[in-house]
Structure formats: structure tokens, C-alpha cells
Chains A and B, each alone.
Chain A
Amino acid sequence: MPNYSWPPMEQRRVMGKRLARLDGAAKASGKAKYNSDVRPAGTIHGAILHCPHAHCRVRSIDTSAAKALSGVTSVRVAAEPGKEIMWPNAEIAFVAARTEEIAREALRLIKVDYEVLPHLVREENLAAAGSRAKPAGEVVTGDPDAALRSADVVHEGEYGIPVITHCCLEPHGSTVQWSGNKVEFWPSTQAISNVGGDLAKGIELAAGNVHAHMDYVGGGFGSKFQADLWGIQAAHMSKESGGKPVKLYLDRAAELTIAGIRPSVYGKIRLGAKRDGTLVAWDSLTWMTGGMAGGGLNADLLPYVFRNVPNRRVNHTAVATNTGAQRAWRAPNHPQVSFVTCAALDDLAAKLNMDPLDFFKKNANLTVREAVYVSQLDKAADMIEWKKRYHSRGDKTAGSMKRGLGLAVGTWQGGGHASQCRTNIHPDGSVEVELGSQDIGTGTRTIITQVAAESLGLPMNAIKLNIGDNGLPPSGASGGSTTVGGVASSSRIATLNALEKLFEAVAPSLGAPADQLEAVDGKIQVKGNPAKSLTWKAACAKLGVKTISENGANDQRNPRGLNAAGVGGVHMADVSVDVETGVVTVNKVVAVQDCGLIINPKLAEGQVFGGVIMGICAALMEERVMDEATGRCLNQDMEFYKLAGIGDIGDIQVHMDITPDHDKRGVVGLGEPATIPTIAAIANACTNAIGVRVPTLPLTPRNVLNALAGRRMA
């Protein structure tokens, strides 16, 4: 059996290099074909009629005029009379037509009579939720009441972070062609190996009858794991339209309301400490909504990171609202609990008259990685010049511009998912690496190729990588920061298994046993004796007519040291706030990210930059605004559902400890941890600048000015 261990850091020739992503040129030139760009011959277009009410029952639906419209090939009712609709923009009917314009016209001809029912679409006022609020039960450790009574300093505060959406730029959808008993499926997905089977289940076909293919996906962030009703209805419409491919993608309003949201978290928190800053007690009542399912929160997440506080009480209540359902959102629930926790800790530190940097370090023993957090806090403090520039709460300088610093922490697992890979070595020397994975923009293509090239001693361009198809060896969905560990490990194992077969084939020619051969610099040679070698091409020619095809898998129960889980991270922010206008400007964010073996530092840093920027978006501007009067979403477009632009991000600095110590852990995913602490760091910096807590995010002028005026959260 080959030695699958990663080669020592100093011996790597391809791994660890700052290579540009392999699909960069295809994407940046516009040549990359996303599935929303793909139009197989004969493609027709679908469109969806959405419900205008938050809660209603369909009394009747008349599709006759739509069916009669020239060019319409299929009209399907998704909500039959009597069906109760639970959130706005829910799907009522689907239309396929020769062009998208005709399909949309047909939607206008569908007549629906609704019985409007009472709704609840806002959750920030728990008292108003009535029977929609479902307490999850209390979790208690130690004696929080006694600890709070005996604490030297107690802080009590309210905090809120609203629902935000994924806002994938490529909307959810697919093109589907159902002809005979075969289905061709071009989805926008994070799970190419599974999504075909998911569609098959939805349309009651055997999984093997659905072929799914995707080369590129325009963002997912946790919301694109299923075929969804949209894929299923597109399939049916294709069948009803004589087997023509049906292209059906959500419009932006639907994308922002029914294609996934991140749940809110609101909370009332009491916490206490000794005079020296030792945290002794935590007592929280949190609530949130993720749609009609309410929204669960693992009690172990509070207090976040500082989980081992000796006395704690955690209560959580799920609030069912008539809003689109939640989906996994980059580090599910972590950014919210990071905010709630780190804001409350920051407020307690202020009450103690303690620098939060000292306070967080003092209590790092309540985390499961004390040494990591202490060193990260020190490093981040150096990077942002905390010791020099920190001032106690409230910038006392003259003028309306106030400046402040804030910090926060995060943690994530990120171990590799189950992944299978096949490596083929052909007699002509060509190499294929094949796995049913997908590159969601993280650089998966590039890092797999780096691993294969490293393992075979070949240049990057000698490896042909095939991903994005459910006919390939199955690999996990890209979620939970599990992809890099999973695919790096499976491709390492498959590639070394194939190389071992090649060694066996050429051993006689080199006059040495197979286990005494190595692959270096495009040659197969006797270990330590470059004089006895064959070029890669000559070695492969020894295969005669036989292609080597070997598999490898990442076994999550035994990752062989190739991948690992569990990281911490610290972010610090420097912001300016204009107390006359309420505008918050990010000057700088520093991110110190725990990591394992880094296959490509350029791409790894890109993940952290991206995570920080998503955090800036959520801290400053992102919020799904629901209107209780009408039950509608008021900002279901990108004009009013705001994302940060290039001018809003300030200076971002990333530090990753790429050291032998970290390297020997194996590969650890970092897409998710990188986005967790940014929001709380910015919120704490804002508080440090203006002297008062803005209890409810985002830090819009309205919320900032309300806090300055002493007005409570809405």
C-alpha cells in the first residue's frame, strides 16, 4: 500500500504554490458556460406565478386563458383549490412557452382567487408571536442564578441580528429535458453527485435515469443542495412539451424570498463576572425565525466559543413566521451567535472598565483552544495596532466623526466529506482525475489538480480533471467547508494507487522493485538514483494497451491524517461613524485564520477575503425587510436588498499561519470560519466609536441614530 501521507512541506513542488485558479480565464473572459447560460437545441422557457399573500388559501384557479395563449406548451398548477399557502411568493402555477416573454405573459392570464388568512411575518417582538412561538426547553449548567447574584459586575442587554438572504448571483434553477424515461438535467447546484437522484425521487424515476451535469455555478453559499420544486416542475413541463428542454430560473424577487434565508437571532442576555474579569455566568433567552419551521438553535452554541463558562442557562424559542424557509447559510447560525455573544461580552468588558482584548484573553480558558485564541488575539492586535490605538468606550475627540476598534471570535469544524475519486493513467501518458465534485468558486478544480500533479511528479497541465457530473465517482456536496479536505484526500489516495500500478508495470525495466521507485519531475526513477529513470511518457508506454484506472476514497472515520477538523479565528475591525448622519465606514478589518495544510495560499486567502466582505455586507446593510401590514417583503430586489460595493470594504488584511505545526494537521476547510467573526467585530468597533451599543443590526444610519438618541430597538 502506498504511503498516502502528504509529502513534507519543504519537498512540495506544486502544492503550497500561489497558483492562479485554473478556470479563471474561462470565467473572466465570459467563455465559461454556467447552466443558466446553457441552451440545448429546442430550449423553451419556464416562468412561475408566485403568491402575493403571506398566508392564504387558494379558492379557485383558472388557467384556461394561459393555456390558450399561442406559444404556451405547458401550464401546471402547483397550488390546487383548497391549498393553504404559508408564505409570500410561494409557487402557485408554472408555465412553459416558446419564449420567456410569452411564458411571463401567460402568467398574467392566470386568474387566482385567494382567501386571505392572518399572518405573522416579523419576529423581533417575541411577545407578539403568541402561539407561533415554540420554546425549546431550558438547558442549565451549574447555578447561574447564584453566580449572577454573587458576581461583582452583571450586564444585561438585548441584541438582534435580522434575517438575511443568500442572494446568489446566479439564481436557483435549471434546464431539464425529460424525454422517454431519460432526463438530462443542467442544474445550478452545490451537490452534483446527489442532485440528480434528488430530482429522480421528485419525479418518481430511478436515480440512474437522471443525468446531471454542471461545469460552473454562480454562487450557492449553502442554498443549492436540492433539485427543488423548480427542477421537478421544469421536468414535468418538459415532458408535457414533447420532451423539449425547459429552462426555468427564479427571478430576483423569488431568489431573495423563497430560495433560502439565514435565520435571525434576537436575544436577552445576562452575564456576570468577577472584578478581575473572570466570566462566571451566562443566562440567555434567544429567539429566531427561519420561516414556518421556526428555527432551532443548538444550545451548545451559547455562549459562543466561551462555552465552558461554569454557570449557564440557555433558553431558545423558535418563531414560525409566514416567510420563505431557511437554508444553510455559510456557517449556519455561527455568525449570529458570534454577534450575540461577542457583543454581550464586549458590553460586560466595558462595564468592568476592561479592554476587551484583555477580557477575551482572560477568559480564553473557557474555550476549547485557549492557546490558539490567545495567540490569534495577540496577532490580530499587532496587525491593527490595538495597543496603540484602542480607547475606552466612546471616542472623546471633537467633531462628528468617531472612530473605534472592535474584536470578535469564531470557530468551525471543516473536516473532509466523503469523497471518491478515480485516476486513470493511459499508455500515451495522459492522466485523468475524475470525481463527482463541483467548484463553487472556492478553487476546487485548482487544488485537486495541484494534489494530483504533486503526487505524480507532473506539471499542472499534464492532469485532466473531470468534475461536475453525476456519472463520476460520487463526492460530497460542497457545504460545511468539507470539500477541500474530502477531495484533496480522495484524489491523493486515488492518484497514488494509480501510480503504484504504474511502478509495478515499469519495475522490471528499471531493474528495481516497485516500492523502490518514485515519480519526480516528469520521470519515474529509482529512489535516490536519477540516473536510473524513464520519462513519464516512456514509463506509461510500458502499459501496452492497458489503461490504469484506480479508485481512492476519503473515509471520514479514518482520514489517514490527510484532513482534520476544528479551527478558531479572530477578526478585529476599525470603523468610523458619523454621529450626525449615522453612516458607518469600515476603515480596516484584520482576520487571523487558524488553518491546517494550505494547498494554495492565494485561493485560501481569497476565501478569507470573501468571508470578511460577506461579514461587512451583513454588518452594515443586509436585512430582509418584511411588512407586517401587507405581509410582503419590501426589499426583494438588489436596489434595496443591499450588498457592499467595492468602495465599502476598506482595507482588509488576512493572516494565516502557514507553519509546519499547522501543516501537519492535514487539510482543514476554511470557507465558513472566515466569515463568522466579522459582523461582531464591526459592531463592537461601532460601539467603541460612539459609546453606545446599537442593539439591532445592520448598522444602518437609522439603527445607529436610534441608538444614539436612546431609542430602543423597533
Chain B
Amino acid sequence: MSKKDTELKPKPAPESGKGFSRRGFLGTSTAAGAVGSGLMEQTAEAAQGAGGKGITLAGETEITLNINGQPRKVTVEPRTTLLDALRDRMEVTGAKRVCDRGTCGACSVIVNGKVSYGCTMLAIDAQGKRIQTIEGFGNHPVINAFVQHDGLQCGYCTPGMVVAAKALLDRNPRPSSQEILEGMGGNLCRCGTYVGIKQAVAEAAKELRGGRNA
């Protein structure tokens, strides 16, 4: 096995059920990236060998995604992320593309009940899963809480923040201050709206529990 082949060998996936590990994630994604670009070059060479012109390198295919309870057909490439499928191919633009590398949370969506970064999931891997975007939230109290407590300025991180807040309150209706910081810790804001966000999440939790004093 050549050195290159050794490098390309995918690292074992993190054990399931142990929660999200950033280090484990980075290890696997780097390996996956190397494999992906290697394959791309091979395909490109094959395409050029075959005359090149007119051949779509990766190919598009129609898949069905379950978005906010509705089956939606969309044509994607294997490399299309869930985020880009939503934004560029389905006009679902609440989730934003900011870091595009699983750091900032602006692309947050809820997949099978768990808050997830849309930029780090391929659209084809999202098939058969329940994808909830902010467009499916209706008049969720979290939205109004962000408005009333001014948990936003330019607003570009805000949909991701709202998704993270809802996901937090779905799994923990009575979060402590520290749990709010942890639950919202996967999302970054540049304008500096965290003071309002802390208040908004705490107030939304009260509201969801049935009134301010509940």
C-alpha cells in the first residue's frame, strides 16, 4: 500500500451514542475530504480521457427530502450539501451559509429531532430523515421572544439561533442559565446580540411552560 493510500484510508467512525466529538468529527471529515477530492480527480481524468466535453462529472439526480412534513423533490449532485439544496434548489432560505464548515450554526436545521448543521450533511444523506427548518416553526414563541428581547441585529445568524433555541427547549423545557449557554454555544453572532438571546431563550422557556410564572 503506497503512502498516499494509507493517508486515504478512512479513520474509524466515532462510536455511536457517545455524543458529538469535534475532534472525532474533524478527523473523519478530513479523511472524507481527501477521499472525495481524490475521486473527483479520477473522474475528471476519466472524463477527459473520454473526450471531456459534455460529460457531467458528478451527475445530478432527483431525490425526495422530507421538509417540514412535506415530501419535496429536488435535483442534486452527490456533493450538494443539505444546506445548498435547501437554499439554491428549493428556495428554503432561512438557514444561512456563513462558515460552510460546521462552526457557526447559521445553517442549523433539525434532523430527526436533533439540531444539525446543514452545511455538513449531504443532501443525499438527508433522504428518509425528518428535516425541520425554521420555515416550519409557525408562530413558535421562541421567535417572538427573540423580537421582544432584541436578540438580533443584522439578523443573519438569527434563524440558526432560533432553531438552536427551539431544539434546546424541545429537549429541556427548563434549562438553567448554564444550560442555555451550552445549548446556544454552537452558534456564533458577529453583531453581538448574545445578551438579548440569553433573555429570549429564558423567556421563551417560561412561555412554553404555560406562562411567565410557571
Contacts and interface: CB of A to CB of B under 8 A. Distances in A.
Given A33-B93, A613-B194, A252 B134 contact: no
A609 B195 contact: yes
B92 to A, nearest CB: 9
Nearest to A37: B93
B88 A100 contact: yes
Contact of A101 (B79, B91, B97): B79
A29 B143 contact: yes
A612 interface: yes
Interface centre among A65, A645, A646 (most CB of B within 10 A): A646
Interface string B80-102: 10001001100101111111110
Contacts of B147: 20-21, 24-25, 28
Contacts of A34: 93, 96, 156
Contacts of B97: 36
B104 interface: yes
Interface stretch (B3-11, B51-59, B205-213): B51-59
Interface string A88-109: 0000000000011110010011
B185 A606 contact: no
Interface centre among B80, B146, B187, B191 (most CB of A within 10 A): B191
B116 interface: no
Interface string A439-466: 0111100000000000000000000000
Contacts, number: 189
A219 B94 contact: no
B52 to A, nearest CB: 6
A217 B191 CA distance: 12
A528 interface: no
B104 A638 contact: yes
A639 B23 CA distance: 12
A251 B93 contact: no
A187 interface: no
A637 B150 contact: no
Interface of A: 20-21, 23-25, 27-34, 36-37, 39, 45, 65, 68-71, 99-102, 105, 108-109, 167-171, 216-221, 251-252, 440-443, 602-603, 606, 609-614, 617, 637-639, 643-647, 649, 652
Interface of B: 40, 44, 48, 52-58, 77, 79-80, 84, 87-88, 91, 93-101, 103-104, 106, 133-135, 137, 143-144, 146-148, 150-159, 162, 180-182, 184-185, 187-198
28 contacts: A21-B147, A27-B158, A28-B159, A30-B94, A30-B133, A30-B137, A37-B87, A45-B88, A99-B77, A99-B88, A100-B84, A109-B44, A216-B154, A217-B154, A218-B96, A218-B155, A219-B190, A219-B191, A220-B154, A251-B100, A252-B100, A441-B152, A603-B150, A613-B189, A614-B190, A637-B103, A638-B188, A646-B198
Nearest first, the 5 closest Cβ-Cβ pairs linking A and B are A30-B94, A613-B192, A218-B156, A27-B155, A441-B154
